[in-house]
Amino acid sequence: MPTLGDTLAAARRSSAGLEQWLRRTDPALAHEAAAAAARIGISVSGYARMAIANFTRLAGEEDWATLMSGLRDSQDPGTTCLAAMVHWRLTAPACRAHSNTQEAGITAGGTHG
């Protein structure tokens, strides 16, 4: 069973392997992530890496508390963590300033709307 650190490290450096792992561990979430990734023109693994980065930078105190609670009770903290971060990204209210540039609609002048 991979540790949380193993999973996060794999998410940061992996491509096809992460996508396959997500499909095996949570097919429904993998499907949702694939659809979201396709909408913005990136891979599922890219979407997962984006979700991790966004969660790390932008998640609120309540989101972190929910994640930590889930990790405490989990038999597989790596899966729980990655799934929670991807789910958070899929359900987070749209914030154009904190998404990737294609999704955000950032203009050449660096502004957003």
* Residue 51: pLDDT over 70: yes
Q: Give the Cα separation of 17 and 104 in Å (integer).
A: 27
Query: Does the predicted TM-score (pTM) go above 0.75?
Result: no
Share the mean pLDDT of the chain: 76
**What is the rounded CA–CA span in Å between residue 81 and residue 100?**
21
- Give the model's confidence band at 48: pLDDT under 50 very low, under 70 low, under 90 confident, else very high: confident
Residue 57: which of 33, 92, 101, 25 has the closest Cα?
A: 92
DSSP letter string over 35-60? Answer: HHHHHHT--HHHHHHHHHHHHHHH--
Q: Is the pLDDT of residue 61 over 90?
A: yes
